[in-house]
Amino acid sequence: MPETDMDGYFEIERMCTQGAFFYIHGEGLDSERYEIDESMDLEHLEIRLPLKCSLQVILEQDSEEADSLRFLDVEGSILRLSIVYGDIGGGVTRSMSAGQAQLKEGASEVIHVNELAHTLVLYKDGEEVRRVPIKLVPGEIQVLRP
């Protein structure tokens, strides 16, 4: 498995491309899987990944207003998010990846979503309650109090 240089570049000398894919992950990156197809210029392939942001949502005004949430990008597409639960032994953590997260008593777990998140959408019993524009900052845990 190649590692990147200081600028994020790496080189693979020989590679079978049929059925191949890249799974890119790293500290602070929103990991992604990229399928290789014949139309790609593999000599000059450039893949850009958004940075991962960490946050918690707390409903301070009305903890019963919503029971779940989603994040949308600027085009309105639902973003994948992940939630990392505590240590389950030996330094191993358990995580869940999905399109939405639950709110319990008006608060979410710490959520990871990429920096392209533009809108927080709150839901109650599956119905949209409200949309809140957001601006996330990679590298720190933010608390959103919509």
What is the per-residue pLDDT across 51-70, written as a single tens digit (0 to 9) for each?
889 999 999 999 999 999 99
Give every strand in the sheet of 52-57, ordered side by side.
Answer: 93-98, 81-87, 111-114, 52-57, 141-144
Bridge partners (DSSP) listed for residue 120: 71, 132
Over 70: is that where the pLDDT of 80 sits? yes
CA dist., res. 92 & res. 51, Å (int): 23
122-143 b/e with 16+ CB inside 10 Å = b? bbeeeeeeeeeebebeeeeebe
Mean pLDDT of all residues belonging to the chain: 83
Lowest-confidence pick of 24-33, 92-101, 135-144: 24-33
Residue-level pLDDT at 63: 96
Rounded percentage of the chain residues whose pLDDT exceeds 90: 49
Q: What is the pLDDT of residue 123?
A: 98
Most confident range (mean pLDDT) of 16-25, 45-54, 60-69, 90-99 is 60-69
Q: Which residue has the tokens 């119905």?
A: 127
- In the chain, domain spans: 1-49, 52-144
User: What pLDDT sits at residue 83?
Assistant: 84
pTM higher than 0.75:
no
